[in-house]
A and B are shown apart, each in its own frame.
Chain A
């Protein structure tokens, strides 16, 4: 399983080559927002348990430092599910050690993170196969089979159309 940390960086790490030290001004590079975030996540989890209503948090809308993200990752840990969606660039999705709390990171084809969310849900939407896709694939597979030698028996068994 890949570690969450190794995904971060991307083009920004190119700055290391410039002779300017980019130092975070806070003492430990942490803004103190993570504690508030954890409380919000707890509240969303409670809502998921009691009302079957989760929610998401847009991490990019918050003034988080790199160290904040590391702190949040450490606080939530890594769970037993990790997935990757390959569509318009990769989307990395993993369940944290806190069941029901998922980390979803969308990248474009350049590897730039274009969206990063904490989703509190039983399964993130991006992993669920869209209904229209299932209908289309069923029709496509059915058409393929009907054209093939299996088609006759299939048509007999189901009345054909």
Chain B
């Protein structure tokens, strides 16, 4: 990544052989991705074209590297990696060539040279138990590194459910005392891009927004960008009409499943899960879990791991589905929202009980 500090995104892309038409197309797709009106594309082109590459420090704490995999395994060249290459990634333990003292020196230099201007991306939760001893880098605990790095940051982007809400390390009984970043850093703007892993284009969408508007996108009450988390999986699910008609798969191999009916009764968390999977999809737009015949796990919601069995707790109501769903079908979206509230309440109850899935749940042979 040897590029002049003064390089703009357009300079960079031009050197890579991207034409101005290609750039305009890239901006049209970016506007679409950010849920902005298409008329914004020229303004985005103007702003993005002049954008300087921001310094980014990526901190990995208690995590599985799935978030980095999600972003870097996209086939080249995609919108994601065009934007990703537009940043100056000055520190990333998995991706950087430097190791040991040299790696830490790179982080310190980036912090010093770009104080108040750099972005910090965090994946993984922060273990607070026993003085933070459960996860350390270069002899420093994650808490120390986070506090030290966040102090000079312009903003923090939490990538993945672990850094956003604690994720799997935070699940009961949380042996390491894991917490999300927002419980430690309270004086910096924080954007949360949850998902296990998050959709790559959502990660880069936040970066594109920052590069274009020099500000962070509008967020929902859980700190997630509204452009991507404004609707539930259920809102945009292609199986939604079956839900409205009360047609549900009762097991993974019944007639309903073969007909592609709604997976609500099989535990789909689509109605309570805000994410963009149903529209952006996965694997170069191939599909998303519901399209492959499995319900949504709700991985972009807080405490998804403790919200009861993936196969029953939230989504198999104690009342017969046809009654609740029948009301939803009759009264439309408002009742759908009522169902979501109903399920959210059930989720809280299930979370308290920490229900586990059994083989019977999976096979639905009760």
Contacts and interface: CB of A to CB of B under 8 A. Distances in A.
B18 A113 contact: no
A110 B78 contact: yes
B46 to A, nearest CB: 13
Nearest to B244: A25
Contacts of A18: 292-293
Contacts of A113: 285
A138 B240 CA distance: 55
Contacts of A19: 258
- Interface size bucket, A side? 35 or more
Given A56-B39, A60-B279, A114-B79, A24 B285 contact: no
B292 A58 contact: no
Contacts of A58: 31-32, 37-38
Interface in A112-155: 112-115, 117, 119, 125-126, 130, 132-133
B25 A22 contact: no
B75 A115 contact: no
Contact of B32 (A88, A115, A119, A130): A115
A112 B24 CA distance: 17
A28 to B, nearest CB: 11
A112 B284 contact: yes
Contact of B260 (A22, A55, A65, A132): A22
B39 A55 contact: yes
Contacts of A61: 32, 35
B285 A21 contact: no
Contacts of B240: 25
Given A12-B287, A24-B238, A87 B18 contact: yes
Nearest to A129: B21
Nearest to A112: B285
A133 B20 contact: yes
B241 A26 contact: yes
A11 interface: yes
A23 B78 contact: no
A11 B259 CA distance: 21
Nearest to B257: A20
Contacts of A96: none
Majority secondary structure of chain B interface residues (helix, strand, loop or mixed): helix
B236 interface: yes
A145 B188 CA distance: 58
Contact of B38 (A10, A57, A85): A57
A157 interface: no
Contacts of A21: 258-260
A88 B31 CA distance: 17
Given A11-B284, A12-B285, A85 B25 contact: yes
A14 to B, nearest CB: 6
Interface in A20-51: 20-26
B26 A88 contact: yes
Interface string B2-41: 0000000000000000111110111011011001011101
A125 B31 CA distance: 15
25 contacts: A12-B285, A12-B286, A15-B287, A18-B292, A20-B257, A22-B238, A22-B260, A25-B244, A26-B241, A56-B37, A57-B38, A58-B31, A85-B25, A88-B26, A108-B78, A115-B25, A115-B29, A117-B32, A117-B38, A119-B38, A125-B41, A125-B42, A130-B20, A130-B21, A130-B24
Given A15-B291, A106-B28, 15 more contacts: A15-B286, A18-B292, A20-B257, A21-B260, A23-B259, A58-B32, A61-B35, A85-B25, A87-B25, A106-B29, A110-B75, A112-B285, A117-B28, A117-B38, A126-B25
